[in-house]
Amino acid sequence: MKLKYFFLVLILSSFVISPSGIIDLNDLFDYENTYVPAYINKDNTTTGNEITNSGATLGRVLFYDKNLSSNEAISCASCHFQEFAFGDTERASLGVNGTTGRHSMRLVNSKFTHESRAFWNERAITFEVQATMPIKDHIEMGFSGENGDPNFDDLIERLNGLEYYPLLFEFVFGDSEITEYRIQRSLTQFIKSITSFDSKFDIGREQVSSNYNSFPNFTNQENLGKSLFFNSPFNGGAGCFRCHTGSEISITSNTLNNGIVGVIGEEEEVDLFNTKAPTLRDLVNPQGVLNGPIMHDGSLNSLMDVVNHYNDLVETDENPQLDSRLFGPENDLDLTLQQKEALIAFLETLTGDNVYTAEQWSDPFDDNGELIIIPLITGIEDVNNIAKVKLFPNPTSTIFSLNLPEGSYQLFIFDINGKLIRNTNPKTGHQEDVSGLKNGLYFVQIKNTDTKEYTIKKLVKI
Ligand code: HEC
Ligand code: HEC
């Protein structure tokens, strides 16, 4: 009870609460049932760590929390930006002790891949194993335990001292203990929940039975590009699908080197063992602008550079790792300018829309880095079960209803700044007209005037 009053006071006293800044455990996003098209077959979920709404919610908080870095300045999202499909526009990303040795990877559709290992060179056997590697990396987040860095136990101690984590861990795992294993599981659930299936490609694919059919919503140029992508050079194509495969457009697990061998900042060095790429979806944003430089060394800066790279690549003794699937009957692909432009037009159809702004994958902290958790309200013995009162429909543009039991109640509506804007006395079957309110987020407090018990609901006016 005390806790709840405390949170109410927090909500009502703060002036700058934005829609982010609050996580209501009674009203989670649905991460479990995100839409996956029927033509997507690959699912690399680690058995026993299926996505749950609660686990992914905790993962979201961890992903955006700068407390996960030694200097409290870097979160996972500092190198994986939602607005860039969870990649980075910088060639090398900035960590707590310098910049990364490889380019950041986009984290879209990473659950739906043929290759289930993580990183460009596949050094993490699962995404769970991967999840805490950046935290323990001296350059990236700095809890390495070496060179004077704090270690992982120090991180756990810090997280224990933050108000929201004991609450969240208890909510997800049944008790409030914070462990590396639990952090790995929740971060992975969040990352694997990030999906992008509303691209022009998806709208077309939905209407046909195979990638080889002409898509009704594509231009001739896009269909030509698709055909080049999905056909082998022995068949007049460019052969991309031999490694970037399926409607997932994710990389096969037995791919070798693709001829990109650079090392960021080290002109003289070569690195032949980068054999994974993120899905080729969302290389560009909905405006057609690249989400960042391309390849593990960020050495290519346009889709034309990519196509030219593959077109001009020839076999060489200097690179024994080169994958033979890069080549056709001729050593180079011999694409015309028209074919190159078509291939680019096709790659641009792979971009979605929703993933760039959807709230469930956005920063839950407010502008001041604060986060309020509205705790789970369950089985309140002393009252009329007010927590079970439902407010519907929500979002609404006109009225909402309340399924109130018999009794006497007060209803308060607060705006996002905590300002009281309405106070009424609802009865059983009550309907509240909110058509006059500005669109936005509101808090509705429903209070039993006899018992003083109350509940707070988020209301979205559209
Ligand atoms: C300082 C920048 C930086 C930070 C911070 C960072 N990452 Fe990354 N991330 C990268 C880079 C760079 C790569 C590619 C590294 C490589 O392959 O060697 C990467 C790769 C990944 C991948 C592999 C994707 C794939 O498809 O194989 C995942 C997953 C990931 N990061 C998740 C996270 C999580 C979770 C956090 C926070 C705990 C995090 N990252 C923090 C820069 C960063
Ligand atoms: C033999 C396998 C193979 C073939 C064929 C192939 N690729 Fe790749 N591709 C890779 C590998 C491996 C990487 C990651 C390489 C790296 O960064 O070092 C990659 C990376 C990419 C990337 C960068 C992704 C990113 O997130 O930065 C793009 C774009 C791409 N390929 C497009 C294509 C296109 C277009 C074709 C056809 C013309 C093609 N690929 C053919 C193996 C292949």
Side-chain-side CA neighbours of 196 within 13 Å: the count stands at 36
Instruction: Report the pLDDT value the prediction gives residue 395, as an integer from 0 to 100.
Output: 86
150-154, 352-356, 390-394, 453-457, range with the lowest pLDDT: 453-457
Instruction: Report the pLDDT value the prediction gives residue 378, as an integer from 0 to 100.
Output: 58
Residue nearest to atom 13 of ligand 2 (CA): 277
Residue nearest to atom 33 of ligand 2 (CA): 240
Protein residues with CB under 6 Å of any ligand 1 atom? 68, 74, 76, 78-80, 93, 95, 100, 102, 104-105, 107, 110, 118-121, 127, 130-131, 134-135, 140-141, 187, 191, 276, 278
Which ligand approaches the C-alpha of residue 299 most closely? Answer: 2
Q: Does residue 11 have a pLDDT over 80? A: no
Model confidence band, residue 379 (pLDDT cutoffs 50, 70, 90): very low
Instruction: Report the pLDDT value the prediction gives residue 417, as an integer from 0 to 100.
Output: 64
Instruction: Report the pLDDT value the prediction gives residue 20, as an integer from 0 to 100.
Output: 64
Which atom in ligand 2 lies closest to the alpha carbon of residue 347? 35
Span 158-177, average pLDDT: 95
| CA–centroid distance, residue 105 to ligand 1 (Å) | 6
Residue nearest to atom 12 of ligand 1 (CA): 104
Instruction: Report the pLDDT value the prediction gives residue 9, as an integer from 0 to 100.
Output: 44
| CA–centroid distance, residue 83 to ligand 1 (Å) | 16
Residue nearest to atom 14 of ligand 1 (CA): 104
Residue 410 and residue 403: Cα distance in Å, rounded?
A: 14
Cis peptide bond N-terminal to 395, omega within 30:
yes
Would you say 432 and 456 are in contact if contact means Cβ atoms under 8 Å apart?
no
Q: What CA dihedral angle connects 266, 272, 273 and 277, to 10 degrees? A: 80
Model confidence band, residue 407 (pLDDT cutoffs 50, 70, 90): confident
With b for 16 or more beta-carbon neighbours within 10 A and e for fewer, the 72-106 pattern comes to eebbbbbbbbbebbbbbebbbbbbbbeebbbbbbb
Dihedral of alpha carbons 204, 208, 211, 217, sign: negative
Which atom in ligand 2 lies closest to the alpha carbon of residue 242? 5
Instruction: Report the pLDDT value the prediction gives residue 300, as an integer from 0 to 100.
Output: 98
Model confidence band, residue 382 (pLDDT cutoffs 50, 70, 90): very low
Instruction: Report the pLDDT value the prediction gives residue 452, as an integer from 0 to 100.
Output: 77
Radius of gyration for the chain, computed over Cα atoms and rounded to the nearest angstrom: 25
Residue nearest to atom 36 of ligand 1 (CA): 76
Model confidence band, residue 204 (pLDDT cutoffs 50, 70, 90): very high
193-202, 223-232, 269-278, 446-455, range with the lowest pLDDT: 446-455
- pLDDT tens per residue across span 96-130: 999 999 999 999 999 999 999 999 999 999 999 99
Instruction: Report the pLDDT value the prediction gives residue 57, as an integer from 0 to 100.
Output: 98
Q: Does residue 453 have a pLDDT over 90? A: no
| CA–centroid distance, residue 122 to ligand 1 (Å) | 12
Residue 24 and residue 37: Cα distance in Å, rounded?
A: 29
Instruction: Report the share of the chain in percent with pLDDT over 70.
Output: 93
Query: How far are the Cα atoms of 232, 235, 314, 326, 334 from residue 329, in angstroms, in the given order?
Result: 10, 10, 12, 11, 11
Q: Does residue 311 have a pLDDT over 80? A: yes
Would you say 114 and 172 are in contact if contact means Cβ atoms under 8 Å apart?
no
Span 139-155, average pLDDT: 97
| CA–centroid distance, residue 361 to ligand 2 (Å) | 27
Model confidence band, residue 19 (pLDDT cutoffs 50, 70, 90): low
Q: Does residue 252 have a pLDDT over 90? A: yes
- pLDDT tens per residue across span 209-242: 999 999 999 999 999 999 999 999 999 999 999 9
Instruction: Report the pLDDT value the prediction gives residue 399, as an integer from 0 to 100.
Output: 94
Residue nearest to atom 14 of ligand 2 (CA): 277
